A and B are shown apart, each in its own frame.
Chain A
Amino acid sequence: MDPEITEITVLPGRDKNGMQETFDRIVIRPGETLSIVGPTGSGKSALIGDIEIFAREDTATGRTVLVNGGMPPEDLVRDPSKKPVALITQNTKCLADLTVQEFLSMHVRSRRIERDGIVAETIALANEFTGEEITAGARMTALSGGQTRSLMVADAITIGNTPIIILDEVENAGIFKDRVIETLRAYGKAVIFVTHDPLVSLMCDRRIVMRNGTVTKIIERDGEEEKALAAIRKMDGILSALRERIRAGESITEAAFAS
């Protein structure tokens, strides 16, 4: 197996006006969760792009991204099966016209994984992230957006065994985001969310605030926002339950926020 990834380090570059960024370094370790927030055009995608390709002052931002404190070896950057970062976006698609079982088996074969039951385990894990059940015989191309992303996250955890997972604005896609975060934490994954979602932002250990192409602030989860987080979690639960009931065709006759 490849050497273990203990940390990824982002070194500063320049903002959109060419000014040096003010943060010293951002270090991401397994088990940590990080959110990236900021208005459209503030540089969120550029930041995850830098991480995804291990920038070395050769991107528009001029940032450098290190693995375990040094320049990553080339095969780690170039071979997707060795790359320690999996990026899942709203645009990420499964194009293969295969069943879920065949699709995951294809990935298992390409990784030369011998362990029995890994496909079933992946499907079971994916089903923890979505309310719409994914079956082994379903066709990949017929899955909903939420099912697809749930399966991709599960695939990155089990078959991909990727230490760092970047999720780019996937919160509105019908997945149980709090369960995704808890599960990824439990598996010791480092997770980076690009998000506008209050629950996801506040659940993360750190929140990186972007503006004008640069990191302007890093907010640590230090307990100050816990009350707000509890309230957001409750509201999110109410909305999720309502969503399921509307999906089931129910009339919502009582005051929804009465509880």
Chain B
Amino acid sequence: MKLIVIAGPPSAGKTAVVRQIVRNLRATAAIAYLKIDVVRAFEDEELKEEFGIPARKVYSGDLCPDHAGIMVMRDAIAWAAGEGADILIVESAGLCLRCSPYLTQSLGIVVISAVSGTHAPLKMGPMIALADVAVVTRIDLVSQAEKEVFRERILEVAPGIEIVETNALQGTGMRYLIRRIEETGEIEDEDTIEVRGVPPLGVCTICVGKKEIGWQRHFGVVRKLDSADWIFRGD
């Protein structure tokens, strides 16, 4: 089975890209779909209804959605295998720019909307840098100059990335993404799949329930406004 992890900010067009993948590949491959989101998601029901593929979702609720994704991933692979899938597509909530959800032994796709502005790729860091393919959506809406600059900015963040420009509603340019998926290898050994990114430096004190503001009230790795250096505060 092949594993595809799709990330990208909310409303970038991730699900439109998933639809195109399913539309193009369902004749030759059985596809299963998992959506990870925080509080509400409808994509699984829509895809199940439209294409009749096995699809489900998981709500992360009070967990970080990327964290939740990692937690459920082995169960998800087992579920998809049980459904007889050749390809499992996991679509992230697309919230965190720090811990991108891409895994080894899989294809990582970041979906970015061309209308998000020419600085957006520079701000997205790991979400782009650790992906294999950047799919740029809504390419039909922006000027030629912005198209070109957007592409350059992505390559600045991730020099080796493959860029697919598309109007995902119509599916233009998708032939290159489909080819890349066809070339992607199967999961070799699910016991050795790992997160591609480097985990965060500090464990978050806010995550464990400390709600006060300011570094003075927190422990572990903290920082001040006027210093780029990290400070360790505590034992």
A: residues with CB less than 8 A from B are 49, 52-53, 56, 58, 78-81, 86-89, 91-96, 103-104, 106-107, 110-111, 152, 155-156, 159-160, 162
- Is B216 an interface position by the 8 A CB rule? no
13 further A-B pairs in the complex, CB-CB below 8 A; given A53-B173, A92-B142, A96-B118: A49-B172, A53-B172, A78-B163, A81-B151, A86-B144, A87-B140, A95-B115, A95-B146, A96-B146, A104-B145, A107-B145, A110-B149, A152-B143
Smallest CB separation, B71 vs chain A (Å): 37
B148–A78 contact, CB under 8 A?
A: no
B117–A58 contact, CB under 8 A?
A: no
B144–A155 contact, CB under 8 A?
A: yes
Q: Which residues in window 125-177 of B have CB below 8 A to A?
A: 140-149, 151-152, 163-165, 170, 172-173, 175-176
Tell me whether A152 and B117 are in contact in the complex, defined as CB-CB below 8 angstroms, given that A53-B172, A110-B149 are known contacts.
Answer: no
B144–A95 contact, CB under 8 A?
A: no
Decide if the interface of chain A is mainly helix, strand, loop or mixed.
mixed
Tell me whether A92 and B141 are in contact in the complex, defined as CB-CB below 8 angstroms, given that A80-B151, A81-B148, A110-B148 are known contacts.
Answer: yes
B151–A79 contact, CB under 8 A?
A: yes
Instruction: Report the Cα distance A88→B175, complex, angstroms.
Output: 23
Smallest CB separation, A162 vs chain B (Å): 8
A80–B147 contact, CB under 8 A?
A: yes
Chain B residues within an 8 Å CB radius of A80: 144, 147-148, 151, 165
Instruction: Report the Cα distance A159→B151, complex, angstroms.
Output: 17
Decide if the interface of chain B is mainly helix, strand, loop or mixed.
helix
Tell me whether A91 and B152 are in contact in the complex, defined as CB-CB below 8 angstroms, given that A53-B172, A58-B175, A96-B117 are known contacts.
Answer: no
Q: Which residues in window 91-139 of B have CB below 8 A to A?
A: 115, 117-118
B141–A91 contact, CB under 8 A?
A: yes
Chain B residues within an 8 Å CB radius of A160: 144-145
Chain A residues within an 8 Å CB radius of B145: 94, 103-104, 106-107, 110, 155, 159-160
B140–A93 contact, CB under 8 A?
A: no
Chain A residues within an 8 Å CB radius of B143: 92-95, 152, 155
Q: Kindly identify which residue among A79, A96, A107 contacts B144, using a CB–CB cutoff of 8 Å.
A: A107
Chain A residues within an 8 Å CB radius of B142: 92-95
Instruction: Report the Cα distance A107→B147, complex, angstroms.
Output: 10
Instruction: Report the Cα distance A105→B223, complex, angstroms.
Output: 38
Q: Kindly identify which residue among A93, A95, A96, A107 contacts B148, using a CB–CB cutoff of 8 Å.
A: A107
Q: Kindly identify which residue among A49, A78, A81, A107 contacts B170, using a CB–CB cutoff of 8 Å.
A: A49
Chain A residues within an 8 Å CB radius of B117: 95-96
Tell me whether A107 and B149 are in contact in the complex, defined as CB-CB below 8 angstroms, given that A78-B163, A155-B144 are known contacts.
Answer: yes
Instruction: Report the Cα distance A159→B153, complex, angstroms.
Output: 19
